[in-house]
Structure 1
Amino acid sequence: MAGLFTFLHRNYKASNPPIVPKSSDPIRFGILGAANIGPDALFIPARSHPEVVIQAVAARDKAKAKAYADKHGIPVVLDSYDALINDASIDVVYIALPNGLHFQWALAALEKGKHVLLEKPSVSNATEAELLFHSPLLSKPGAPVLLDAVHYNFHPTWQYFMSQINQTDVVYASHTVLVPTGIIKPTDIRYNYDLAGGAIMDLGSYGISALRAIFAAEPESCVECTVKPTVPPASELCDAEYTAKLQFPGGAIGEIRGTYDVPWLKFRLPNLEVLHRPTEVPDDSIEPNQVKIRTRKVVFYGHMFATIYNRIDTEDTFEVRNRDDQQPIKKWTEKISKSAHSFREIGMEQPGETYWKSYRYQLEEFVQRIKGRSGNGIWVSADESIAQMKAIDMVYAKSGFGVRPSHERQVS
């Protein structure tokens, strides 16, 4: 019963965090697009951050922007995207537009000296990523901060998960995410090919990012990719379901699987599974002519929404063998399960509360960078963002649906 109360209390506070007094010189955010992700990704996290104020919003439809502002308590509604990035009172531009508009407006905001928090996937393709993240605007003295918002990377549970992995010994990893039928409609912006839509760009980006981190390497090739197209009126070049196999250095294999169309009764939590090769481990209690072998499996449930629920199962299978002929003497399994919601729970002294969402941890580090502070060192580098889009392009090229196009039409 206590566990249920803790679960409910944590998730209530995650959506209703305490509103703290703001500093005398806060960082003022402007929002491009009246996106559904705005509350979870920024507005709610901002409530508990003393140095963050949500100042303004702009959308293509000003009436929609006004309704959005009224709903979320945003004080200023501006006439256009251009008006927002030119507003001198705005310090940061948060871009939650369709994927295909990210590059254009991130670059435009940087040109105006604004810091940019950019929803993932950062852009439409690797060409755009190279141009954006290696822009000379980012290398000048006092350059603005640009962050590819891979939010799960900032949550303490991800750090614990990575501590359970010996990256040089990983031989296989997989990521699976299933979205029940009906949640994503055929008219959803995720299915707009011209705006760089597709399930791999959305769900698949989590899996590709996670695999790259697990292997601490970039995929050498996509050896298989099967996709299921969407149904009208969605674009036939947008995937609603995918399975892909990527080869990493040393012959290691990573797989991603995802769908927007699983029956509700078959829904399962998103999960990552990591398998290690058998390795010899020291043990003074065994005989000199014996060896102890460990084979590790790590499974992470819920990494995409770790505040709601997360669990990491670390299962070690041990075997004692004769050193000479490798004949088994004894075999057993040890399993540890752990959930964590703060750095304190994994033995680290860093800011955070158990009700902080991954987006709140991300916001903490983003503000630290803007303020020129050291923070906890967790970040998404420019090169990582570029490599991520190269891997996504690789998968789409193998799928036959092709790399997502750049969006050339100016939209304000």
Structure 2
Amino acid sequence: MTSLISLLNRWRLMATGGHQPPKAPANQLIRFGILGAANIAPLAIITPAAQHPEVTITAVAARDRAKAEKFAKKHKIPIVLNSYQELIESDQVDAVYIPLPNGLHLEWALECLKKGKHVLLEKPSVGNEEEARRLFGGEEVKAAAEKGVVMLEAFHYRFQPAWALFLSLLDRTNIVDVNVNIILPQLFPDNDIRFDYNLAGGAMMDLTYTNSVVRAIYGTEPEECTSCEVQTMKPPLDERCDHTFSTTWRFPGGATATTMGTHRGSWIEHLKTNLPVTVTHRAVVIETNEEKGEETLRKRKVTMRNFMMAMIWHRIDIEDEFVVRKKEGGEEVRRWTVKESRKGYTWEEANIGVDRKCETYWLTYKYQLDAFVDRIKGREGTGAWVDGEDSIGQMRMIDMAYRKSGLPTRVSKTS
């Protein structure tokens, strides 16, 4: 009963925004502008900004001014500007959140950098690897970085305590397989921008968390996409866009990964699987008994459920299989399994050495915003970040999958 009450209270605080601290003096605030009146903006930046003492939302611009005005009124944003360019050039804006369709990211992120604005860029960052190299390795970003301008691709799940706890339970050098599944019900209509090739759409783009997770776990890049099967939109819709994919990968040392994602699953499948990430390790010797001529091996499997939005609910299951065997000949002496479950709704509960105050109801996006502000202010963060090379590697992996599937890689509108 106590756990249920705690869960319901956390959900209530998430829904209402929880505690909103007083704001810092005006000259210490980071003033955000939002490009587009996107549905994700309240979750990704507006609520987290309200919970952050050093952040305020000052402006919004959309292609449809009436839509922007309605959005601004609803979310109490004081300034509505006539165009994206006007917002980027505004002296009332220090940082820009870009939740536009994928195919528009490159153009407007570059414009922000040219104008010296910090950029919080929704994933996927751009349309393909070549564009990522232009954005994250080009002269614009180098010049902006020299002036202290910060840009971050918004893989929000990486900043939460639960994810850090999950990573701490892994032995990266002995991982042999990673499996990631994102099964979503049909939340978006067939004509949604997610399925528009001309806007760099496709399920592998939208659900690119699968690739990000695998790369974060291994800490390295895949050598090959060994298979990629896709289901695409049917005419008269764009057949170049996938709504479902299943992909296998080979990593250095023969390690493997399987990534699967769909926007056409069922609610039953979604609720049953709970967005699992499963990491399997090889058996390793953890103890030797020379007197008995025996050695003990451990084979670990760690599964995290609901990695994307762990603050709503999550569970990390650790399953350790132990085998005692003779050193000579390998004869098995005995075998047993130990199972344990962990959770980390706060840094304190995660207990991995991060001494920072937080609340159980904070969104993953709030932790992300904390890291973004810390980087701008030159403060030491928790260690979580997505740098430019990471973002380039992310797009390289997506390109590899699309090529293997037989579909064309994505292209931004300005390419």
TM-score range, shorter chain: over 0.9
Partner residue, 1:76: 79
Partner residue, 1:17: 18
1:393 paired to 2:399 = yes
1:75-109 CA-to-partner distances (Å, cap 9, x unmatched) read 11100001100101100010000000001000001
Letter in 2 for 1:43: I
1:247 paired to 2:250 = yes
Once the 2 structures are TM-superposed, how far is the Cα of residue 374 of structure 1 from its aligned partner?
Answer: 1.6
Partner residue, 1:107: 110
Which TM-score applies when normalising by structure 1? 0.96
Letter in 1 for 2:19: P
Which moved further from structure 2: 314-323 or 347-356?
A: 347-356
Letter in 2 for 1:22: K
Contact 2:315-2:341 within 8 A present in 1 as well: yes
Percent identity between the aligned chains?
45
Once the 2 structures are TM-superposed, how far is the Cα of residue 149 of structure 1 from its aligned partner?
Answer: 0.7
Alignment of 1:116-265 (within 5 A): 116-140=119-143, 141-181=146-186, 183-203=187-207, 205-265=208-268
Partner residue, 1:96: 99
Contact 2:88-2:111 within 8 A present in 1 as well: yes
SS in structure 1 at match of 2:278: strand
Separation in 2, partners of 1:215, 1:239: 26
Once the 2 structures are TM-superposed, how far is the Cα of residue 283 of structure 1 from its aligned partner?
Answer: 5.6
SS in structure 2 at match of 1:130: helix
Partner residue, 2:307: 303
SS in structure 2 at match of 1:88: coil
Separation in 2, partners of 1:344, 1:265: 33
* Unaligned stretches of 5+ residues in structure 1: none
Separation in 2, partners of 1:96, 1:361: 18
1:359-403 CA-to-partner distances (Å, cap 9, x unmatched) read 000100100111111222211111111111101111111111111
Once the 2 structures are TM-superposed, how far is the Cα of residue 289 of structure 1 from its aligned partner?
Answer: 0.1
* Unaligned stretches of 5+ residues in structure 2: none
SS in structure 2 at match of 1:304: coil
Separation in 1, partners of 2:13, 2:235: 40
Once the 2 structures are TM-superposed, how far is the Cα of residue 258 of structure 1 from its aligned partner?
Answer: 1.1
Once the 2 structures are TM-superposed, how far is the Cα of residue 136 of structure 1 from its aligned partner?
Answer: 2.5
SS in structure 2 at match of 1:282: strand
SS in structure 1 at match of 2:52: coil
Separation in 1, partners of 2:323, 2:267: 40
Contact 2:302-2:318 within 8 A present in 1 as well: yes
Partner residue, 1:320: 324
Separation in 2, partners of 1:261, 1:369: 38
Once the 2 structures are TM-superposed, how far is the Cα of residue 233 of structure 1 from its aligned partner?
Answer: 5.0
SS in structure 1 at match of 2:308: helix
Letter in 1 for 2:294: Q
Contact 1:17-1:47 within 8 A present in 2 as well: no
Separation in 2, partners of 1:193, 1:242: 16
Letter in 1 for 2:403: A
Letter in 1 for 2:181: T
SS in structure 1 at match of 2:263: strand
Which of 387, 403, 406 in structure 2 is aligned with 1:381?
387
Which TM-score applies when normalising by structure 2? 0.95
Separation in 1, partners of 2:303, 2:68: 42
Equivalent pairs counted in the alignment come to: 406
